[in-house]
Structure formats: structure tokens, C-alpha cells
Amino acid sequence: MGTKGKVIKCKAAIAWEAGKPLCIEEVEVAPPKAHEVRVQIIAAGLCRSDTHVISPKFEGAFLPVILGHEGAGIVESVGPGVTNVKPGDKVIPLYIPHCRKCKFCLSPLTNFCEKFCKGKNPLIEQELMEDKTSRFTCKGKSIYHFFGISAFSQYTVVKDINLAKIDDDANLERVCLLGCGFSTGYGAAINTAKVTPGSTCAVFGLGGVGLSAIIGCKTAGASRIIAIDINSDKFPKAKALGATDCLNPKELNKPVQDVIVEMTNGGVDFAIDCAGGSEVMKATVECTTVGWGLCTFVGVNLADKGLAISPMELIMGRTLKGTNFGGWDAETVPKLVSDYKNGKFDLDALVTHTLPFDKINEALNLLNQGKSIRTVLIF
Ligand code: CND
Ligand code: ZN
Ligand code: ZN
């Protein structure tokens, strides 16, 4: 007896309230409607962005919600009108849709889609499907989707335009990291900053995103990569992945940006913020060289007031950029999967822990205590 067209009962991790542990519950997952796809999640990573919306400091969250935006799985069934995937296909759900028709999708200048450019915060505004309803129910209550993905459920429903179809032999326990962390950091360096051979780089924040940015800087041929974190336990891995120098701002007697400027004879060519928050953003700007220094913002701190900047910082020749998902989209993620298979980069180094899905709160604790880079949850 197949499940197509039927409600599936399965386990999901629900955030009922901010600041509380997630609850593993039985949920009902409705069949996909037109241009929707029901996906069986096989593996998912835990990214810092999953935790922002359940932080008590953040007030804009849609709750209760099923988090998770770094997953990989197999198509269980498709709704009417779906042509890009079929049952049995391996897929990575993407939080940036790709309709392939709009002016953004047709432009090589962005990985955005018209469907993603509406609203103030398009990420958290993907909390419902196109018809403004949810496909998840628990204890009679409708549960919000998250980033259009909700990977922390054994089955989820996503829009067809939020899916990348990948190779049948892809290792889902690794390529799930291409759904956010690796792609975001690596793409920040090679697609957004376009780090050049022989250049000097500074990467702030050495989680899954920042370490992936280091891999990107090294791949691009940077000659010096300065890695910065307030947790020195992150340094051995950063060095193993290509960092040439490591700095802990807490152990310095002057601002880290001043130290970087001294170390590099006036500042780095490229600085990438993979931590977030106004203090790091300021340091990211101020550690780049006048003339051509390029800052790329990746880190997000929803509770933070953001960057106050003097026009002189830019008038002196610096450039500020930001990136969402490292510039990748549904057409380029399958190529990243092939690159991984062909050994172009290593994802194993980012996976510090593997846990069964129902241990998700343990994974959250490891992340919050700075003990993990990526925990891959197995469903
Ligand atoms: P994770 O929490 O694993 O890593 C962040 C690292 O930053 C940790 O090692 C911290 O110790 C370090 N850190 C914190 N404060 C400072 C500071 N003041 N100076 C230096 N280092 C500091 O997070 P992650 O790697 O999963 O994600 C990193 C950020 O990227 C986070 O803000 C997340 O929300 C954001 C992000 C952005 C995007 C995008 O597309 N732009 C996608 N996913 C995640
Ligand atoms: Zn589009
Ligand atoms: Zn993420």
C-alpha cells in the first residue's frame, strides 16, 4: 500500500515556544498540492540559523514551527504539475526558490528568485505554502513550515521550485550540508567575494559556514587566510582546512581589526563575516585595506541592531557585499554534489557528530556550547 495521496503520520521536532527544547512529536503530513513535493528526509545538518528564530531575543518568529533548512532526502510523491522531480529522486531542498523564469532567475548576477524577493525577511516568510496553509498538523494544531523546508521531520512538503534534483548515488549523509552550511561559506568566498589567487583573507567565525569559507579561500588560491574566533578550540580545524593564522579577539590587547591591519601591512584584500553581529561586522570592514578591500557579510544576528558605518570607510575604496546561500541555486547545487563526489572538497571535516534524529536537542546543546561544527541527524 503506497502513501501517495494519503496523510503520512511520522515524527518531527516541533518548536512550540521560543527558548524551550524541541519536542519530538507525531505529526500528520498532508499530501502535496499543485507544484508541491513530499520528501522523505534521510539526513539533515543543524545550522546556527535554525536557532535564531527560537531565541527568546527574537520577536518575529512564527510558532509552533518545524525547523531545519540543511537536509537531503528522497521524493515520496509529487502534486499535480510537478515536472522537475519524480518519486524516488534524491533531492536537496533549497531555501531560495528557483522558478527559472523570472528576471532574477534569468540573471547571472544573483541566485535570487522573484518568489524570494517579496517581503521584509523572505526566509522566515516561507512559513506557509503558496495557498497560505501548512501541510503539517500536530495535536490538531497547524504547524508552520520554516525557510520553505522544515527538514526536521521524517517527511516534509516543499514547493517544486525549492528543490535541487541530485545524482542517484549521492551520499545524503554528507551532501545535506550543501543545503546550507558548506554552500553558503564556500560560495561566499568563491562566488560572492570572488577571492583571487595570492590574496590575503580574514574569516570571522569558525563554525560550519566560516570553515567552509576558509575552504573556499584556499580553493581560490589565497596566500594568507587569517581565521578569527572567540573560541580557540576552533583553531586546529581551521588550520587543517587552510588557515595560515588564527586570532582570538578575547586574547588580544587591542581590537582584532587593528592586529590584522598590522599583520598584513594595511589590511586584507577580502574579509568575510561568518559570525554576525555589529561588532564583528565593524571589525570585518575595518580589517580590510583601503583602496580595494572587499567585505562580505554572511553571518546573521536577528536580535542585533546592525552596522553603523562612516561614509569614509567606503569613500576610501572599500566595498560591502552580502550573500544568501553563497550564490548557489537549484541549477548549480547538483554541480556541487558532483564536485564533492569527484573529491574537489571534503565535507567529512565539517561533520563532528552524527546522531539519530530524536537526539536533536543534544545536537542543539553541542552547537550552543561551541563543541560541534556540524551534527548530522539521521532519520
Ligand atoms: P556557528 O555558531 O557554528 O559558528 C559561529 C562561530 O562564530 C562560532 O565558532 C562562534 O564562536 C564564533 N563567534 C561568535 N561571536 C564571535 C565574535 N564576536 N568574533 C569571532 N567569532 C565569533 O554558526 P554557523 O557556522 O552555522 O553559521 C554562521 C553564521 O552564518 C550564523 O550567523 C548563521 O545564522 C549565518 C548563516 C547565514 C547564511 C546566509 O546565507 N547568509 C546561511 N546560513 C547561516
Ligand atoms: Zn525566479
Ligand atoms: Zn544555514
Question: Is the pLDDT score of 70 beyond 90?
Answer: yes
To test the pocket of ligand 1, the residue of 241, 274, 324 to mutate (highest count of ligand atoms within 8 Å of its CB) is 274
Q: Are residues 138 and 234 in the same domain?
A: no
Q: Is the per-residue pLDDT at 121 higher than 80?
A: no
The active-site residue, picked from 105, 113, 176, 180, is 180
Q: Are residues 170 and 201 in the same domain?
A: no
Residue 214 has φ and ψ, to the nearest 5°, of -65, -45
Q: What is the pTM of this model?
A: 0.97
- Do 103 and 174 sit in the same domain of this protein? yes
| C-alpha cell read off for 40 | 522523505
Catalytic residue check, 287: no
Pair (301, 200) in one structural domain = yes
**What's the average model confidence in pLDDT over 118-131?**
79
Query: Do the domain assignments include residue 338?
Result: no
Confidence check: pLDDT of 323 > 90 = yes
What pLDDT score does 53 carry? 83
Q: Which residues line ligand 1 (CB under 6 A)?
A: 47-49, 52, 180-181, 184, 204-210, 228-231, 234, 249, 274-276, 279-280, 298-300, 323-325, 367, 370
Residue 50 lies in domain:
8-179+347-378
Whether 212 and 82 map to the same domain: the answer is no
Q: Which one of the listed residues 47, 217, 274, 287 is annotated catalytic? A: 47
Task: Specify whether 98 is catalytic.
Answer: no
The string of pLDDT tens digits covering residues 178-221 is 999 999 999 999 999 999 999 999 999 999 999 999 999 999 99
Is residue 158 within 8 A of residue 37, CB to CB? The reply is yes
- pLDDT bin (cut points 50, 70, 90) of residue 306 is confident
Helix (H, G, I), strand (E, B) or coil at 202: strand
| Nearest Cα to Cα of residue 156 among 266, 70, 259, 282 | 70
351-372 pLDDT, tens digit per residue, is 999 999 999 999 999 999 999 9
* 1 pLDDT more than 70: no
